[in-house]
Chain A
């Protein structure tokens, strides 16, 4: 075992884990917000995330075809792409709720869950169909923007690329924005009221349906933003890309305490860090006996341990009170 190497790569692994963790956190918000309000797991959220990534790549490819990509500042382009991706994913989430979940609102809890799984499959193959007709492609690649690939050297072995910084800064801004929206505005108060008790909230003059749509809009937009950032960071996407990150983000939401917004952020970060450390260190620590392929087993074993001792998640589950 090479102690020097372990220490030398530590900051880099920490950084990789943080980036992945922020990505999970952004996706996890979509699961947790919907759960907080409706007590139901929106399994189609991983596809909402992928749609954001695809909208992003389509805009970037269009910009590239028009030759704008080298003319305009890449940060401006990224901002536009992020906003459009968020809008598309948010609207899609609202539409899905209107079509597939709202008619089932009074039904037993398993029914909308199955509807959500159905929507998830439908969206996966819809994206695949559209892309194969439109571009005759399965894998799509985010165009390279040179400025974003520049790297700062922190030390001799550790460096960080501009796009990684963008991911971290954008995630922090959005998480902060969401936190402020939910806790400090009237709209946020209304959402929290609906989460606590729909009937009473509606007696207080809150439009429950509108608040639920808004929840889906915000959760979907966060998912879409995560999709665009995922594409910018890792560059390759396909219609099934969302499945694994979606599953992990759902786990992150449970880990943090489902329904709990700061919990989802914390859960995402913990999971991202666990995964990065497992993938980088397992084979170094075990002399190659356990390699990076065991990262998920390792990460999830730790999650099980945490949940044994804190079954409601790190920060506790937030569920509406029953009358």
Chain B
């Protein structure tokens, strides 16, 4: 394990060495360079979602950097690959805070990576706006520099449990991936489901990625109505596929980690008709997002993955915050802390609706969706329709 980890750090450093030297030259009239960093998995099994975050941010920076450029700044995007691994994320974060030009981070995909990395950002009050991290701890630490534009897992878990109750499922078997995100949301689901009278007949964590036979055998014997998988699609898809192959007939459900076309690419017919809750609706539910989807497709030759629109919004809010901070600083490059203060005050109507932060960095109101997988064809992932849409206020900080 140590070797693998060490190698990942080396690769990350090599990638960094490639990225950093470019763009050092600045035009004569420039008052300085402002860099926006993204951190998300760009390689490995979750790269599909991670790349969506990078490209969404890139589109926002390209489109919305005008006001800052008029003030005489050069605006650049620097993408980092956190490989969905906490240690890589933290190593990148150390490099990010060392680059004084970086005033904003848009990221991460995984809560388990975002939480330790944002401890690093906090050392210099560098603003991080998360498009996708749903674990409550992300904002419950009450850091000035950490905000998110999406909902939370404690709410998401109970939305799932509420839906399970409305379907009159009696028994549930809960599996999770042992990450901060997956185990977190699975525990919220379990607690709430039990409160609502659904019997949770099994609760298992596993890091296994390929052979689920021994876990599925007791599941099959207990024959639950519902299997809830707290985790991410690259692990859930083979799990669901093998469950159906073993003849398990339970309905499948999961949190927003299921939300990628790769789920059907891997599991095919096994996941057709399954349900998942999400903090990010498909692009089609947002009325302003159609133009975004088209632009995204024209530019990057693929459909936006979930969280790309959220990343676009996060970057837009960040750019607004930087602009306000630069104005307050008299047209000079603002400090990181000034940017964080301004972002917290920013009100923004973006693709995914109006965002206004509470004191701890959650959006005051967030949307939650229950969706159903429409087709086994990965190209039709965008056809997944929300069955239920709820707007729920973020819970206040527990003292």
Contact B213 A16 (CB under 8 A): yes
Which residues of A are found within 8 Å of B221, using beta-carbon distances? 5, 8-9, 12, 157
Interface flag for B210 (CB, 8 Å)? yes
**A115 in contact (CB, < 8 A):** no
Q: Which residue of A lies closest to B212 (CB)?
A: A234
B262 contacts across to A, CB distance below 8 A: 139
A139 contacts B218, CB within 8 Å?
A: no
B202 at the interface (CB under 8 A from A): yes
**B209 at the A/B interface (Cβ < 8 Å)?**
yes
Of A19, A236, A275, most buried by chain B (CB within 10 Å of CB) is A236
Cα A277 to Cα B247 with chains together (Å)? 20
Tell whether A234 pairs with B238 under 8 Å between CB atoms, given A149-B245, A241-B209, A291-B205.
Answer: yes
B4 interface residue (CB < 8 Å to A): yes
Report if B345 contacts A (CB, 8 A). Answer: no
Given A9-B217, A144-B268, do A293 and B207 touch, yes or no (CB 8 Å)? yes
- The reply to whether A234 and B4 form a contact with Cβ atoms under 8 Å apart is no
A262 to B61, CA, bound (A): 62
Q: Indicate whether A192 reaches chain B with its CB closer than 8 angstroms.
A: no
Other-chain residue from B3, B214, B245 in contact with A292 (beta carbon distance below 8 A): B214
Question: Which among B3, B208, B241 has the highest number of chain A CB atoms within 10 Å?
Answer: B208
B178, A293: Cβ atoms closer than 8 Å: yes
A-contact 0/1 string along B187-222, CB 8 Å cutoff: 000000000000000111111111101110110111
Give bound CA distance, A13 to B206, whole Å.
17
Q: Which residues of B contact A234 (CB under 8 A)?
A: 210-211, 238, 242
Residue B165 lies at the interface, judged by CB distance under 8 Å to chain A: no
Q: Does A28 interact with chain B (Cβ within 8 Å)?
A: no
**Chain A CB within 8 A of B43 CB:** yes
Q: Nearest-CB distance from A170 to chain B (Å)?
A: 17
A287→B247 CA distance, assembly (Å): 25
Min CB distance, B235 to chain A, in Å?
Answer: 9
Shortest CB-to-CB span from A232 to chain B, Å, is 12
Provide the residues of chain B in CB contact with A117, threshold 8 Å: 3
- What's the nearest-Cβ distance from chain B to residue A161, in Å? 7
**Considering only CB atoms, which chain B residue lies closest to A5 in the complex?**
B221
B262, closest chain A residue (CB): A139
**Interface membership of B331, Cβ < 8 A:** no
Q: Nearest Cβ distance between residue B1 and chain A, in whole angstroms?
A: 9
Query: In the complex, how many angstroms separate the beta carbon of A24 from the nearest chain B beta carbon?
Result: 11
Note all chain A residues with C-beta closer than 8 A to B210.
230, 234, 236-237, 241
Across the interface, name the chain B residue whose C-beta is closest to A121: B7
Is A288 among interface residues, defined by CB-CB distance under 8 A? Answer: yes
Whether A139 contacts B234 by the Cβ 8 Å rule is: yes
- Which of B45, B203, B268 is A288 in contact with, Cβ under 8 Å? B203
Which A residues are in CB contact (< 8 Å) with B211?
20, 233-234
Closest to B47 in A: A138
Q: Which residues of A contact B220 (CB under 8 A)?
A: 9, 12, 157
Is B237 a contact partner of A283 (Cβ separation < 8 A)?
no
Chain A: minimal CB distance from B228 (Å): 15
Whether A293 contacts B205 by the Cβ 8 Å rule is yes
Interface magnitude class on chain A: 35 or more
Interface string of A220-236 (1 = CB under 8 A from B): 00000000001001111
Q: Which residues of chain A in 1-40 are interfacial with respect to chain B, using CB atoms and an 8 Å cutoff?
A: 5, 8-9, 12-13, 16-17, 19-20
Tell me how many residues of B have a C-beta within 8 Å of chain A.
37
Residues in A282-323 with C-beta less than 8 Å from chain B: 283-284, 288, 291-293, 295
> Is the Cβ of B245 less than 8 Å from the Cβ of A161?
yes
Q: Which of B205, B214, B217 has the most CB of A within 10 A?
A: B214
Contact B241 A235 (CB under 8 A): yes
Shortest A234–chain B CB gap in Å is 4
Task: Please report the C-alpha to C-alpha distance between residue A57 and residue B213 in the assembled complex, in whole angstroms.
Answer: 21
Find out whether the CB atom of B238 lies under 8 angstroms from the CB atom of A13: no
Chain B nearest CB from A187 CB (Å) reads 34
Residues of chain A from 208 to 262 with CB closer than 8 A to chain B in the complex: 230, 233-238, 240-241, 243
Report whether A12 and B217 are in contact in the complex, using a CB–CB cutoff of 8 Å: yes
Q: What residues on A are CB-neighbors of B208 within 8 Å?
A: 279, 292
Chain A: which residue is nearest B241 at the CB level?
A235
Q: A17 and B214: CB pair below 8 A?
A: yes
B217, A13: Cβ atoms under 8 Å? yes
A280 touches B241 (CB 8 A): no
Alpha-carbon distance A291/B203, docked complex (angstroms): 8
- CB-CB under 8 A for A238 and B45, given A139-B266, A161-B245: yes
- Bound-state CA distance A188–B312 (Å) is 64
Q: Is A265 an interface residue (CB 8 A)?
A: no
Asked if B265 is at the interface (CB within 8 A of a chain A CB), the reply is yes
- Asked if B45 and A20 make an inter-chain contact with CB atoms under 8 angstroms apart, the answer reads no
Residue of A139, A141, A241 most packed against chain B (CB within 10 A): A139
Q: How many Å from the CB of B81 to the closest CB on chain A?
A: 13
Contact A292 to B205, CB < 8 A, known contacts A5-B218, A138-B44, A236-B237: yes
Alpha-carbon distance A48/B333, docked complex (angstroms): 53
Residue of B nearest to A296 (CB): B207
Chain A residue nearest to B221 in the complex (CB): A9
CB-based nearest B residue for A132 = B43
* 8 Å CB interface, B19-69 against A: 43-45, 47
Interface centre among A141, A151, A284 (most CB of B within 10 A): A141
**Which of A159, A237, A284, A293 makes the CB contact (< 8 A) with B206?**
A293
Q: Which residues of B contact A243 (CB under 8 A)?
A: 4
Query: A13-B217, A293-B206 known; 10 other A-B pairs, CB under 8 Å?
Result: A5-B222, A9-B218, A20-B213, A161-B245, A235-B266, A240-B4, A279-B206, A279-B208, A293-B204, A295-B214
List the 9 closest pairs (A to B, CB-CB), nearest first: A279-B214, A16-B213, A236-B238, A234-B210, A276-B214, A293-B205, A280-B214, A9-B221, A291-B204
Q: List 13 A-B contacts (CB under 8 A).
A: A5-B218, A12-B220, A128-B43, A139-B234, A139-B266, A149-B245, A235-B238, A278-B214, A283-B204, A292-B205, A292-B208, A292-B214, A293-B178
> A residues engaging B (CB < 8 A)?
5, 8-9, 12-13, 16-17, 19-20, 117, 121, 128, 138-139, 141, 144, 149, 151, 157, 159, 161, 230, 233-238, 240-241, 243, 275-280, 283-284, 288, 291-293, 295
